[in-house]
Amino acid sequence: MIPLSVPHLAGNEWKYVRECLDTNWVSSAGSFVTRFGEELAEYVGVKHAVAVNTGSAGLHLALLACGVQEGDEVIVPTLTFIATINVVRYCGAHPVFMDADPETFCLDEKKLKRFLEEECEEREGQFVNKTSGRVVRVVMPVHVFGHPSAMGDIMTTARAHGVKVVEDATESLGSTLHGRKTGTFADASVFSFNGNKIMTSGGGGAVVTDSDDVHARVKHLANQANTDVFIYDHDDVGFNYRLTNVQAAIGAAQLEQLDGFIEKKRRNAALYAELLASVHQVEFAVEREGVRSNCWFYTILVSTQHRDALMAHLVEKKIQVRPIWKLMHEMDMFSVCQQYELTEAPRIQSMGINLPCSTSLTEDEVHFVVNAIKEYFSHV
């Protein structure tokens, strides 16, 4: 079987994990936790990074540190993984669903601008959604499959109305937009090191920021809002969201290999695109001007009429594929939330297939997948 996306552990993982076990530093403190945070901040190009136990936990803390309170609104794309939306609800806030850009699959920055300008207004110093009367606190774009959102425009639009921005950069570690890495644009940004991401710590995540205040708040809340480690005093309802030293050891070893992983992913993406160029029924995702994506996931679009049959054909050939996530506004628990002009996301969702994209994927395997796609279209 050719898997969709599996980890690639080819460096110092064993050595660093052994060091944790040999020195008895296996839990939520230890040199690798500190080192991983520091090396990550340096890699991304930000002042601070706080390692946490999942990307979801990181997103939750990033929203809280940006001031999201019960009853607020957070603007999110409908085309994303469910964690992006769940964390809004963990804060007691309400998601408002935005459409996707047809080329990048990321939050449509033009519709966002129109929504903030036409559907919201300033009331007594607060920026409020006219329909719901709720305060619009944060916009949370997602760099879908590794491709950066239009951060320049999104930041300008949000800043104009005093709305904070959190990058859900969980899929885009190492991607750049005009030479700047994702995670450096917003008030706070979050990466994930889950097993299917471009690099892994087994499970884990990180919140990165240039803000001393956001950093202090995230660090505090991730460790039970502890203010005194001797008498165990706490000044808030915090969380245990810390990463363990063993996980950070794996993460540190993976980070050493990240640039190589990205090279490999980009080479395979280019090979897929080249080999599929002759198949006129297939569109391969494009990279926008000024973007260098980490190419975490490879997505093709085919007509809705062929999508499911093609996936069945590939699965029969033992090629693991998946449609793009079911859209968030279609989930029962979020169906009551406001939606704004969702036209492109449903079209992309109905046409999209994610192809195998592991860092360990070989050229022969790419050829095998492409030949299976060609075989399907030669019979229809």
Q: How many residues can be counted in the chain?
A: 380
Among residues 326, 328, 348, the alpha carbon closest in space to that of 340 is found at 328
Least Å distance, CB 162 to ligand PLP, is: 25
Q: Find the part of the chain contacting ligand PLP (CB under 6 A) among 26-34, 52-60, 151-159, 355-363.
A: 52-60
Name the phi and psi angles at 124, rounded to 5.
50, 50
CB within 8 Å of 374: residues ≥ 6 apart: 279
Q: Residue 107 has which token pair?
A: 């939050």
Instruction: Give the Cα separation of 358 and 379 in Å (integer).
Output: 29
Least Å distance, CB 194 to ligand PLP, is: 4
Q: Do residues 79 and 141 touch, judged by C-beta distance below 8 A?
A: no
Name the residue with tokens 């956001």: 214
Least Å distance, CB 98 to ligand PLP, is: 14
Instruction: Give the Cα separation of 179 and 378 in Å (integer).
Output: 41
Q: Find the part of the chain contacting ligand PLP (CB under 6 A) among 20-28, 94-102, 167-175, 358-366.
A: 167-175
CA angle (67 as vertex; 65, 69 as ends), nearest 5: 120
Q: Residue 196 has which token pair?
A: 């299917």
Instruction: Give the Cα separation of 268 and 336 in Å (integer).
Output: 41
Rg (CA), the chain: 21
Q: Residue 258 has which token pair?
A: 């990240």
Least Å distance, CB 131 to ligand PLP, is: 26
Out of 49, 75, 98, 142, name the contact with ligand PLP by CB under 6 A: 142
CB within 8 Å of 97: residues ≥ 6 apart: 76, 77, 78, 328, 329, 334, 337, 338, 339, 340, 342
The site for ligand PLP, by CB under 6 A, has a size of 14
- Looking at the Cβ atoms of 192 and 268, the one nearer to ligand PLP is 192
- Looking at the Cβ atoms of 80 and 257, the one nearer to ligand PLP is 80
- Looking at the Cβ atoms of 61 and 252, the one nearer to ligand PLP is 61
Out of 73, 101, 171, 187, name the contact with ligand PLP by CB under 6 A: 171
Least Å distance, CB 142 to ligand PLP, is: 5
Q: Find the part of the chain contacting ligand PLP (CB under 6 A) among 76-84, 153-161, 282-290, 339-347.
A: 76-84
Most distant pair of Cα atoms in the chain: their distance: 72
Q: Say whether residue 56 binds ligand PLP (CB under 6 A).
A: yes
Range 182-211, binding ligand PLP (CB under 6 A): 192, 194, 205
Q: Say whether residue 148 binds ligand PLP (CB under 6 A).
A: no
Residues 77-116 as x/- pattern, contact with ligand PLP by CB under 6 A: ---xx-xx--------------------------------
Range 275-314, binding ligand PLP (CB under 6 A): none
Q: Say whether residue 155 binds ligand PLP (CB under 6 A).
A: no
Half-sphere exposure of 142 (CA within 13 A, CB side): 26
Which CA distances in Å does 53 have to 8, 197, 223, 224? Answer: 20, 14, 11, 13
- Looking at the Cβ atoms of 37 and 55, the one nearer to ligand PLP is 55
Q: Find the part of the chain contacting ligand PLP (CB under 6 A) among 15-23, 48-56, 175-183, 301-309.
A: 48-56
DSSP 3-state of 145: helix
Q: Say whether residue 168 binds ligand PLP (CB under 6 A).
A: yes
Give how far the C-alpha of residue 129 lies from the chain's centroid of Cα atoms, to the nearest Å: 26
Least Å distance, CB 155 to ligand PLP, is: 19
- Looking at the Cβ atoms of 194 and 268, the one nearer to ligand PLP is 194
Least Å distance, CB 289 to ligand PLP, is: 24
Strand partners, 291: 177
Q: Say whether residue 170 binds ligand PLP (CB under 6 A).
A: yes
User: Site residues (CB under 6 A) for ligand PLP?
Assistant: 54-56, 80-81, 83-84, 142, 168, 170-171, 192, 194, 205
